[in-house]
Amino acid sequence: MNAKKDNKSFVSDFLLLEFSSIGELQILHFLLFLVLYLAIALGNLLIISAVTFDQKLHTPMYFFLMNLAIQDLGTVSVTIPNSMANSLMNNRHISSAGCVVQVLSLLFFLSSDIALLTVMAYDRYVAICNPLQYEMVMNRTFCTQIIAGVWVAGLLYAVMHTSATFATPFCSNIVNQFFCEVPQLLKIACSNLYLIEIGVLVASTILVAGCFVFIVVTYVHIFTAVLKIPSVQGRKKAFSTCIPHLVVFFIFCFTGCFAYFRPPPKTQSFLDIALTLMYTIVPPMFNPIIYSMRNKEIKNALSKLLGFTPSSMNPFFRPILKTGNISL
């Protein structure tokens, strides 16, 4: 319920979106989100474990992949478990402090994700376009510093964004989303202070656009270099890795920007939920497949980690390890 103070400026808790008031549908929602979360968590945890325990994967590329997996795991862990618990317990309430933490954590992981994807594009550019200088440029010190910069920048951005959002007094406590989302919070703002957050969003869009342009230009150079590869198989491997990277990044950026800047409808629509799922769940779900599960070194590391070897496996499954042998 609303806690009113100073003309509705203080809200003690928020009411999140209820997918359904029917018990059976609530259980179905819980089960669907449970399967989705376990699949995403398993994929990213396997990548983290493989890179951590296999010395052969202690290279810049896999170091970045491991951090990406951590970010993706954090992104889904901020939203999905809470929504599952709400459905299971038929509870829509989230405390004001819990809402702040959720917004802060989600923005932290999402912004770090964008920054890291930009760094990974540069890493691929150096590896493909300047292979002789790769070890000198992407040395351990530089990689450590740039990853630290990614996490620190994400945290600073999240703090700034969250502070601007919750500096705004709210006239209602009803959030039309299954988690605390900034666009939905701005809809219930009852002060012109929300313009501060709009300014932050505009600045954020400029930064994302800069990352987008950088990645596009980088991949233009990468594709130009790839087209010069005499081997058709080599070109196919490079394109099969780069193109999915671009597709997921575009989905991530465009759906996120559209969700934050589209004119707010008076009532919750299916489009709002679909856009939210696209930028919060689709990238964490597909990143393990795109960047790692189709990679020979990762698959070999996972086979060792799980105790599987081609000789010990059923012959029916051996061809599976031979498919998708694509190096990033």
Structural domains of the chain, ranges and CATH numbers in brackets: 13-322 (1.20.1070.10)
pLDDT score recorded for residue 142: 93
Residue 208: per-residue pLDDT: 84
Q: What pLDDT, on a 0 to 100 scale, did the predictor assign at position 318? A: 39
* Closest C-alpha among 180, 123, 181, 116 to residue 152: 116
Cα 199–Cα 191–Cα 206 angle in degrees, nearest 5: 10
d(CA 308, CA 60) in angstroms, rounded, equals 26
Confidence (pLDDT) at 87: 83
Q: Which of 98, 69, 75, 100 is nearest to 86 (CA)?
A: 98
pLDDT of residue 193: 64
What residue ranges of the chain have pLDDT lower than 70?
1-10, 20-21, 192-194, 197, 234, 237-238, 240-241, 262-269, 291-294, 308-328
For the whole model, what pTM was predicted?
0.83
Alpha-carbon gap, residue 10 to 163, rounded angstroms: 15
Distance CA 290, CA 295 (A): 9
Would you state the structure tokens that stand for residue 195, as one six-digit string? Answer: 């313009």
| Contact by Cβ (8 Å): 81, 286 | no
CB 192 within 8 A of CB 211: no
Instruction: Output the pLDDT for position 313.
Output: 42
